[in-house]
Amino acid sequence: MTDLVPLLAGAVAGERRALARLLTAIEGGADGVRELIPSLFAASRGAHLVGITGPPGSGKSTLVNALATVWRRRGRRVGILAVDPSSPFTGGAIMGDRIRMMEHAGDLDVFVRSMASRGELGGLAGTTWIAAAVLDAAGYDPVVVETVGAGQSEVEIARLAETTVVVEVPEMGDEVQAIKAGLLEVADVIVVNKGDRPGAELAARQLRAMLSSVGGRITRQPPAILTTTALDGAGVDALADAIDAHRAAARAPDQAMQRARNQLRRAAAEIGVRAATAHPEWEELVEAVAERRVDPVTAAERLVGLRS
Ligand SMILES: Nc1nc2c(ncn2[C@@H]2O[C@H](COP(=O)(O)OP(=O)(O)OP(=O)(O)O)[C@@H](O)[C@H]2O)c(=O)[nH]1
Ligand SMILES: [Mg+2]
């Protein structure tokens, strides 16, 4: 088993090479990752964990790049994880992200990493959470996680972030209704990017009207709705303000509890599945279910030790 603790120590001491190697080990689901988690938890410096999600091509990477510029000006060290859930180890989106983030290439206080995760411990969301914790321990704050807002794992990543920014574009049109539920669930800040295109202000107004007409959001503040043009930086200062301002709200006890609940639920689900599939009677019970001798619920309860 690889001992990753020395790499963590190096990353905490500011060694970029150690940090990069550690992230590679995490991405690849190395054996030592599980044992690293308690040290990682203890090494947290309390970075603001920011999730940026939204449809493909809405300008998330460009926006993160522009945000990094603003945050650097404010003296922050910025850690960025661009998560590509669809295409592990392929060039496309990852190369694109690298190019878009090139502006910060010579800046030691911006760390950009693309991840196509295959790790254990909760799949994509679990691995991303661990990688984000590494960047936190290495002294980056904020730590920004970019994901394409398409599937369940992305929503989960958003749930783990303290502040979730959903990036939309002016042309969303009828999509507005469709995205309503998802937006309400995860967004702390909604950005209509590509503000240089027609309809951006209109789209922002529609979103505001829509969100104010929806009740039931009792536990959280309504999201701020902003317009940006990531390409030239218009509105990006205000976006950074909104994200920074949300940090305090995100750390209110009820919000922290909700995030902890989500984390624990996800970890428990993952561990439950792992325990079940590693159980010596797994194959036997699979057969029994296939032959309809046992129902799947009873079998699962037996596998996780809830029934003998
Ligand atoms: N007109 C205009 N184009 C933009 C703006 N922001 C980004 N783009 C362009 O939109 C395209 C997609 O930008 P990305 O930043 O890669 O978008 P993304 O959401 O990260 O894309 P994926 O990671 O592939 O989902 C690029 O060609 C950008 O140059 C903007 O404010 N205005
Ligand atoms: Mg991107």
**54 pLDDT tier (thresholds 50, 70, 90):** confident
Looking at the structure, do residues 65 and 210 belong to the same domain, yes or no? yes
Is the predicted pLDDT of residue 142 greater than 70, yes or no?
yes
Structure tokens, 118: 């295959």
Give the per-residue pLDDT at 119: 46
Looking at the structure, do residues 112 and 196 belong to the same domain, yes or no? yes
Residues 6+ apart with CB under 8 A from 234: 195, 196, 228
As a whole-number percent, the residues of the chain with pLDDT over 90 amount to: 54
Q: What is the pLDDT of residues 169-214, one digit of tens each?
A: 887 665 655 565 566 567 899 999 999 999 899 888 888 887 776 6
Ligand having the closest approach to the CA of 65: 1
Name the H helices within 146-252: 152-160, 175-186, 200-213, 236-250
Task: State how far the Cα of 82 lies from the Cα of 100, in Å rounded to an integer.
Answer: 11
Looking at the structure, do residues 269 and 224 belong to the same domain, yes or no? no
Would you say the CB of residue 198 lies under 6 angstroms from ligand 1?
A: no
Give the per-residue pLDDT at 184: 59
Distance of CA 275 to CAs 80, 288, 308, Å? Answer: 33, 18, 15
Give the per-residue pLDDT at 100: 56
pTM for the structure as a whole: 0.88
Range of the domain at 267: 263-303
Top mean-pLDDT range of 60-74, 204-218, 256-270: 60-74
Looking at the structure, do residues 224 and 283 belong to the same domain, yes or no? no
- Residue nearest to ligand 1 atom 13, measured at CA: 59
- On whether residue 101 sits in a domain, the answer given is yes
Give the per-residue pLDDT at 120: 46
Looking at the structure, do residues 167 and 274 belong to the same domain, yes or no? no
Looking at the structure, do residues 87 and 119 belong to the same domain, yes or no? yes
Task: State how far the Cα of 175 lies from the Cα of 100, in Å rounded to an integer.
Answer: 27
Q: Select from 204, 224, 249 the last residue of a domain.
A: 249
Would you say the CB of residue 48 lies under 6 angstroms from ligand 1?
A: no
Looking at the structure, do residues 129 and 70 belong to the same domain, yes or no? yes
Looking at the structure, do residues 268 and 125 belong to the same domain, yes or no? no
How many domains in the chain?
Answer: 2
Task: State how far the Cα of 166 lies from the Cα of 185, in Å rounded to an integer.
Answer: 11
Phi, psi for residue 266 in degrees, rounded to 5 = -65, -45
Mean pLDDT on 76-83 = 93
Task: State how far the Cα of 157 lies from the Cα of 163, in Å rounded to an integer.
Answer: 11
As a whole-number percent, the residues of the chain with pLDDT over 70 amount to: 80
**252 pLDDT tier (thresholds 50, 70, 90):** very high
Mean pLDDT on 25-44 = 90
Please measure the distance between the N-terminal and C-terminal CA atoms of the chain and give it in whole angstroms: 33
Which of these ranges, 84-98, 129-143, 245-259, has the smallest mean pLDDT?
A: 84-98
Looking at the structure, do residues 124 and 212 belong to the same domain, yes or no? yes
User: How high is the mean pLDDT of the chain?
Assistant: 84
Nearest atom within ligand 1 for CA of residue 234: 31
Mean pLDDT on 261-273 = 88
**219 pLDDT tier (thresholds 50, 70, 90):** low
Longest dimension (CA), the chain: 66
Give the per-residue pLDDT at 47: 98
Mean pLDDT on 18-23 = 94
Looking at the structure, do residues 192 and 50 belong to the same domain, yes or no? yes
Nearest atom within ligand 1 for CA of residue 64: 15
Looking at the structure, do residues 141 and 216 belong to the same domain, yes or no? yes
Nearest atom within ligand 1 for CA of residue 54: 19
Q: Which residues of 181-193 are buried (b: 16+ CB within 10 A; e: fewer)?
A: eebbebbbbbbbb
Phi, psi for residue 225 in degrees, rounded to 5 = -120, 120
Task: State how far the Cα of 124 lies from the Cα of 266, in Å rounded to an integer.
Answer: 11
Phi, psi for residue 146 in degrees, rounded to 5 = -100, 125
Looking at the structure, do residues 95 and 240 belong to the same domain, yes or no? yes
Give the per-residue pLDDT at 95: 47
Which of these ranges, 66-70, 135-139, 182-186, 297-301, has the smallest mean pLDDT?
A: 182-186
Among 263, 256, 168, CA closest to 207: 168
Would you say the CB of residue 255 lies under 6 angstroms from ligand 1?
A: no
Give the per-residue pLDDT at 212: 74
Helix (H, G, I), strand (E, B) or coil at 50: strand
Instruction: Kindly give the distance from the C-alpha atom of residue 63 to the centroid of ligand 1, in angstroms, as a whole number.
Output: 8
> Cis omega (within 30 of 0) on the bond before 142?
yes
Q: What is the pLDDT of residues 114-128, one digit of tens each?
A: 887 554 445 566 788
Mean pLDDT on 247-274 = 90
Give the per-residue pLDDT at 92: 42
Checking 9-16 for CB contacts under 8 A at 24+ apart, the result is: 11/134, 11/137, 11/138, 12/43, 12/137, 12/138, 12/139, 14/138, 14/139, 16/108, 16/111
Would you say the CB of residue 229 lies under 6 angstroms from ligand 1?
A: yes
Task: State how far the Cα of 30 lies from the Cα of 202, in Å rounded to an integer.
Answer: 48
- On whether residue 194 sits in a domain, the answer given is yes
Is the predicted pLDDT of residue 231 greater than 70, yes or no?
yes
